[in-house]
A and B are shown apart, each in its own frame.
Chain A
């Protein structure tokens, strides 16, 4: 089984990224590639569903930090949902929980975009 898996789908005009497994510096290029692809395709409303993510390092969090301003400039956002407690705690250790939008579940995260047009 692969250490880290990533897949995405569009739900109601929102790009949902599903992260699974162990996201560290070795795997981070795949995560960045997918974020870049979404932005290049004008998907600025992004939800990261971390329900099956069991580990993240600063490498993975840095990708979100590096692209969120660009996404917000285009009228979108990157929201995170369904994180396991220990993964949420890692985001909290660097102060991300005060800056980013963490939502309990995917449906609620997608609903938060309901007032934003898909391609701002």
Chain B
């Protein structure tokens, strides 16, 4: 039900200074396609977290790599694919335990929890030989 070709795509360099632009762009696109402002804010946050993970973990903060973000729109929903090279992030299967993380003085590990809490689907896979983080969000029906 999502189109085979993205409605919109952007390729950026792997630089954290560009995160805010990605957030603003995602918020704009999702608002344009009838997501409420709070939902658009959350979807933008999930994309921020996914792109940050790619920059920090897949590219080890190298600033000269490429990240492509594709937006697919369907009635009532949006699919966002983030393409990158480098290592896929390590995703723990078990539920994040904040208490344990505090005791271990961990600073990372919350991003994927946020993504999974916000989006209806978060899948890491390979598409056409490229690493891809695919996220889907459906609009809430009242």
Interface flags, A36-59, vs B, CB<8A=1, else 0: 000000000000000000010111
B111 x A65 contact (CB < 8 A): no
Interface residues on A, range: 20 to 34
The contact of A58 among B41, B42, B102, B114, by CB within 8 Å, is: B114
Is B19 in contact with chain A by the CB < 8 A criterion? yes
CA separation between A68 and B106, bound complex, in Å? 10
Interface string of A57-72 (1 = CB under 8 A from B): 1110111011111100
Contact between chains at A58 and B98 (CB < 8 Å): no
- Residue among B20, B56, B108 with the highest chain A CB neighbour number at 10 A: B20
Q: Say if the beta carbon of A108 comes within 8 Å of chain B.
A: no
Cα A3 to Cα B17 in complex, Å, equals: 10
Write the chain B residue with the least CB distance to A68: B102
A69 near B102 (CB under 8 angstroms)? yes
Query: Which residues of the partner chain B approach A66 to less than 8 Å between Cβ atoms?
Result: 105-107
- The majority secondary structure among interface residues of chain B is helix
Contacts A25-B52, A57-B49, A94-B113 given; does A99 touch B20 at CB 8 Å:
no
Query: Footprint of A on B, CB under 8 Å?
Result: 16-17, 19-20, 23, 38, 41-42, 45, 48-49, 52, 55-56, 96, 98-99, 101-103, 105-111, 113-114, 117-118
Q: List 14 A-B contacts (CB under 8 A).
A: A3-B20, A24-B23, A25-B19, A25-B48, A25-B55, A26-B16, A26-B19, A26-B20, A61-B110, A69-B103, A86-B41, A90-B114, A94-B114, A99-B102
